[in-house]
Each structure stands twice: as structure tokens, then as C-alpha cells.
Structure 1
Amino acid sequence: MDKTNVESFKLDHTKVKAPYLRIAKDLEYNGVKVRKFDLRFCQPNKEAMETGAIHAIEHIMAEEFNNSEYGIKEIIDFSPMGCRTGFYIIMFTEFDQKELLEKIKFYLNNLLKYDEIPAANEIQCGNYKDMDLKRAKEIVKKVVNNLELF
């Protein structure tokens, strides 16, 4: 492998088994702790999600994470990986991996109940036409009960 300082480039993608959640990086800056998680849905270099499904999952999970009733206030960002095999979750604090896994499973099960995608319109989204709720649900059904810690 090439020498790199990028954590995800140091991961041997031939040895991981998706779906999983893993701690990708811990940082501390001026006393503020930040943790980055790798939430992998697809087996690297074997499969990838379509952009419409990724986009739908991103919108719904953002809504779920920010829900005032049961959301996680520590989450800074939930964003798709460029390789289209999963998502990154960035949060304040050294949030417990096991607790986050259980919450993600809860949120993914909630996603299956959605009939429409939040903010899927021209005003609230920069590419609202590229969303596929049906495919998003198919992907989530495949991974939600198999998601494990890495």
C-alpha cells in the first residue's frame, strides 16, 4: 500500500466484512473531542449503493438524528462515502460505539416506515430529483439486522 496519512486509506478494504460500524478516528482540538465513525453498508469493491438510494438514506437519517424526541445531539455530520459503500458519522465526544450501533438500528427501522423523503424539494435540497426511497428501503432491510461492530 502507498504511504498515506488518511485513515480510511490505511484500512485494508479486502479484509473487512460489511455491514459494520467502526470507530475510524478520534480527535481532540482545544479540549473538544470528536469521533468519526465508518458505517459500512456494502462490501468494498464488491457492491455499491446507487446515488438516489444514498441520498434518500442521508435525508432520512439526518431527520432521525436531529429528532428532538430521540435524536443524538452530539452528531455533527452524517455523510455518504465517495465510494458509495457507506456513510461517515462525525460527532462531538467519544460516543460509545455499541450505543450508537443500537441507535442506528432503531433509526434504520424507522426509515422503513417513511412514505416520503424529508426536504425532497427544490427549496430544501440541491439535487432533490435524485432520490430513491424504494431502493433505500431495500438496502436498509438487507443491512439493518446484520449490522455489527467492527
Structure 2
Amino acid sequence: MAEVESFTLDHNQVIAPYVRVITTEVGKKGDEITNYDLRFAQPNQAEIPTAALHTLEHLLADLLRDRLDGIIDISPFGCRTGFHLIVWGNYPAQEVAQALKETLGQIVEEIQWTDVQGTDAKSCGNYKDHSLFSAKEWAKVVLNQGISTSAFEREII
């Protein structure tokens, strides 16, 4: 069986919220792809409600692309404590954390329901399960706690 990095991480030792590099993989032609852990909630102590997580996923997929080039995907963790961010290349955690902070601030201060893409039956596989209110509340929680560039120490940007 393959060793999956996420399953070797001691989730009892991390201190959310944070951004960390999970891995950078180099392809056969030298292209790099980096996977980041965007952790919003403390593992095994809190989880983001599904509707909030779903709306945050849609918003981050849109708004982070305005701040970071080369985003391939942003996907929620099954445990609902945060997201994978997969990009071409390799950004320092500090740069990703700053982009995330700005994006969460935009969600709290500016975003209205009409700004959320993919909220109808044609463009979303579970379009009824969204909550902008809850997404904004979780964005506030993360911003109030501060985003660290270390999973194990509070190095808040």
C-alpha cells in the first residue's frame, strides 16, 4: 500500500488555522505540482458544516485564482477541517497564507450570494447544500484566530 502523507500527520499535534506544504511532486518532464494543507478547524475538535464548506470551496476556487497563478484544484478534506490546494509550481507557505487571508477578508466584507458561482442544478451536483452566511462566519473565525505558516507553532502572518 502507498503511504499517504496526510495519514502520517499527527492530527493531535497541529494547531489550526494554518497553511503548510504537504508535498511538491516533480513530473517526468520536470514540472512541479505542490499540494497545500489549508487547515481552518482544529482536527478532532471542530469541523466545518457541510453547507459552509461547500460554499467556501466554490468561493476559494474562484477568488484564490485572482491571487495565485497556476491553481489546479481546491478540494475540501473529507474530515471537513480544511482544504487541499493544488498548484503548478511551488509557492512559499507565507505567500499562500497571505492570499488566503486576503480572500477570506473579501468573503467577509464584499461577497454577496450573487457572487457565488456554481449554485444551480446545472453547475453543481448538490446545489441546495450551500450557506454563504456560514461560510462568512467560518472566514471570520479563521481571520480572528490568525493564519499560521506552521502547522505546529503559531507563526501568524
Same fold by TM-score, threshold 0.5 exceeded?
Answer: yes
**Shift, 1:87, TM fit:** 0.3
Structure 2 counterpart of 1:106: 102
Equivalent residue for 1:18, pick from 12, 16, 19: 16
Aligned residues: 145
1:148 and 2:153 correspond = no
Which residue identity does 1:95 align to in structure 2? Answer: Y
Distance 2:64 2:46 in 1: 26
For 1:115, the equivalent position in structure 2 comes to 112
Q: Deviations over 1:40-63 (max 9, x none)?
A: 011100110111000000111111
Deviation at 1:94, TM superposition (A): 1.4
Contact 1:61 1:111 in 2 (8 A): no
Residue 91 (str. 1) matches residue 87 (str. 2) = yes
Counting only pairs closer than 5 Å after superposition, residues 1-12 of structure 1 correspond to structure 2 as 5-12=3-10
Per-residue deviation, 1:96: 1.8
Could you tell me the percent identity over the aligned residues? Answer: 37
Q: TM-score, normalised by structure 1?
A: 0.92
One-letter amino acid of the structure 2 residue matched with residue 115 of structure 1: Q
Runs of 5+ consecutive residues of structure 2 not aligned to the other structure: 151-157
The aligned residue for residue 80 of structure 1 is: 76
Partners of 2:41 and 2:64 in 1: CA distance? 21
After superposition, the CA RMSD in angstroms is 1.4
Give SS of 2:106's match: helix
Identify the structure with the greater helix proportion. 2
Tell me the secondary structure at the aligned position of residue 63 of structure 1.
helix
Shift of 1:71: 3.4
2:153 is aligned to none
Instruction: Please give the alpha-carbon distance, in whole angstroms, between the structure 2 residues aligned to 1:149 and 1:96.
Output: 9
The answer to whether the 8 Å contact 1:27/1:35 transfers is yes
Distance 2:142 2:64 in 1: 18
- Asked whether the equivalents of residues 4 and 10 of structure 1 are also in contact (C-alpha less than 8 Å), the reply is no
The residue matched to 2:36 in structure 1 has which SS?
strand
Deviation at 1:139, TM superposition (A): 0.7
SS at match of 2:125: coil
